Chain A
Amino acid sequence: EDQVTQSPEALRLQEGESSSLNCSYTVSGLRGLFWYRQDPGKGPEFLFTLYSAGEEKEKERLKATLTKKESFLHITAPKPEDSATYLCAVRLGGGADGLTFGKGTHLIIQP
């Protein structure tokens, strides 16, 4: 069964304090790993897609990396506006469609 597990569930950092969020997955034949950001009361907003082990992508203070079993979202020198829930998802294998999501990491950046 395809599974996506994110850790930690919640993380509180001081402004400027770098850290990493983890997403481990078990899926037969990965067809893409996706990172989204979600603000309270809003829909998830796309950040990155990674397809193969060793791939990395960056956007401002965020960098996503991928291995054969997990992905990391590195946050460098975060600001309060980076506070949000970060969601990881994998594309289902076989003939099915849609993304299977983890439960998310709730990130709070304190000034």
Chain B
Amino acid sequence: DADVTQTPRNRITKTGKRIMLECSQTKGHDRMYWYRQDPGLGLRLIYYSFDVKDINKGEISDGYSVSRQAQAKFSLSLESAIPNQTALYFCATSEANEKLFFGSGTQLSVL
């Protein structure tokens, strides 16, 4: 089984719909992250969490919210999806100041 699991792998939704992307990890790390990847723009940080009670905005948090339900679970929500949120989304985990381990990604398309 993968250390960092993202669900769903692919999602197509319509403008204005609420959508949640889920991430779970078995590595026992405290820190979790959500990134989005767009062609030509690279990976950009949306939110990160040091632990269950500590959540922080990243570079591009507008239009997104997150929930850290447990040490192992970190979900990303789009309250009202719009087409420019079409992207590949990655969840990642790390120990403090160490390398990040990434999930396999969720390809989201907003029509």
Task: Tell me whether A44 is interfacial, beta carbon within 8 Å.
Answer: yes
Query: Which label, helix, strand, loop or mixed, suits the secondary structure of the B interface?
Result: strand
Interface set of A (CB-CB < 8 Å, partner B): 31-32, 34, 41-46, 49, 87, 89, 91, 96-104
Q: How many cross-chain pairs have Cβ atoms below 8 Å apart between A and B?
A: 52
Give chain B residues whose Cβ lies under 8 Å from the Cβ of A99.
43, 45, 100
Could you mark each residue 78-111 of chain B with 1 if its beta carbon is under 8 Å from any beta carbon of chain A, else 0?
0000000000001010000111111111010000
Alpha-carbon gap, A49 to B103, bound state (A):
19
Contact of B56 among A44, A46, A97, A104 (CB under 8 A): A97
Smallest CB-CB separation from B46: which chain A residue? Answer: A98
Smallest CB-CB separation from B34: which chain A residue? Answer: A98
Could you mark each residue 1-30 of chain B with 1 if its beta carbon is under 8 Å from any beta carbon of chain A, else 0?
000100000000000000000000000000
Alpha-carbon gap, A89 to B44, bound state (A):
11
Query: Which label, helix, strand, loop or mixed, suits the secondary structure of the A interface?
Result: loop
> How close is B93's CB to chain A, nearest CB, in angstroms?
11
Contact of B42 among A41, A42, A43, A102 (CB under 8 A): A102
> How close is A60's CB to chain B, nearest CB, in angstroms?
18
Alpha-carbon gap, A44 to B107, bound state (A):
15
Q: Are A49 and B99 in contact (CB under 8 A)?
A: yes
Give chain A residues whose Cβ lies under 8 Å from the Cβ of B44.
101
Give chain A residues whose Cβ lies under 8 Å from the Cβ of B48.
97-98
From known contacts A97-B48, A98-B48, infer whether A42 and B101 are also in contact, taking CB-CB under 8 Å. no
Chain B 29-53 interface residues, beta-carbon cutoff 8 Å to A: 31, 33, 40-45, 48, 50
From known contacts A97-B31, A97-B56, infer whether A46 and B99 are also in contact, taking CB-CB under 8 Å. yes
Q: Are B104 and A43 in contact (CB under 8 A)?
A: yes
Could you mark each residue 52-90 of chain B with 1 if its beta carbon is under 8 Å from any beta carbon of chain A, else 0?
000010100000000000000000000000000000001
> How close is B91's CB to chain A, nearest CB, in angstroms?
9
Q: Are A98 and B33 in contact (CB under 8 A)?
A: yes
Alpha-carbon gap, A91 to B98, bound state (A):
9
Q: Are B41 and A103 in contact (CB under 8 A)?
A: yes
Q: Are B42 and A98 in contact (CB under 8 A)?
A: no
Q: Are A44 and B97 in contact (CB under 8 A)?
A: no
